[in-house]
Amino acid sequence: MSTKGTSDAKDAENGASKGPSDAKRAESPHGTNALPEHVLEEIRELPARYPQHRSAVMPALDLAQEEVGYLTPEAMSEVAAALDLDPGYVEGVATFYTLFHLQPIGRHRFYVCTNLSCSLRGSSEIVEHVKKAIGVREAGEVSKDGLFSYEEVECLGACEYAPMMRLDHEYYYDLTPETITALVVERRAPLSAAAKASRRRTPVAAPDKAPPKKRVPRTKKIG
């Protein structure tokens, strides 16, 4: 995951308390800043999966962000309380990683890798196409319908499949402008409640565990 800065990194690693952030906080687009009980329950169950219980902070923040739309101070406090962690430590983690947001973002987020391998294989073209497809001019801007935003991120660990990106909780490989268009059209289509629930709770597929289903070979064996 990409990071935002070194001082926050130290705080996050040390679990140091930073106190409340000065960053401007906006109201949640979903009209609430509190996490519902079923999300808090999921968060409380997370530490059992890790050798050190505070390692659960990242998936917990991910759940909170997914629920509220972005990480409000209230959501971060509730994560801290649910995990029995210092609120300053939780905020330090939230402010360190670029995949966590303290301001409203689109309901669907494109995280386009623009690091070396992806850059050599046309990530700038992909970024331009994402901007055009969702109707924004710059990273972080939310589309008029509130559905989309995009960011450029550092290596997501799937260089072999460049250019690639993460959209919400899934990785997409060997990107083309057509792939982007299809994904935007799909996300704009109305979903059934079941499909929405299934999409929201799909865990992020690690690149090494989820290779592309239809991998197109780029080289041919000669001779």
Q: Which parts of this chain interact with ligand FES (CB under 6 A)?
A: 113, 115-118, 155-159, 162, 164
| Element holding 71 (H helix, E strand) | none
Q: How far apart are CA 136 and CA 96, in angstroms?
A: 25
Nearest approach in angstroms of CB 184 to ligand FES is 21
Radius of gyration from C-alpha coordinates of the chain: 18
Nearest approach in angstroms of CB 28 to ligand FES is 31
CB closer to ligand FES, 81 vs 159 = 159
44 with 7: CB under 8 angstroms? Answer: no
Cα 37 from chain centroid (whole Å) = 22
Nearest approach in angstroms of CB 3 to ligand FES is 15
Nearest approach in angstroms of CB 97 to ligand FES is 16
CB closer to ligand FES, 75 vs 126 = 126
Q: How far apart are CA 129 and CA 51, in angstroms?
A: 42
Cα 124 from chain centroid (whole Å) = 20
CB closer to ligand FES, 107 vs 109 = 109
Neighbour count for residue 201 (Cβ, 10 Å)? 11
CB closer to ligand FES, 105 vs 156 = 156
CB closer to ligand FES, 114 vs 149 = 114
CA-nearest of 69, 85, 59, 86 to 34 is 69
Nearest approach in angstroms of CB 113 to ligand FES is 3
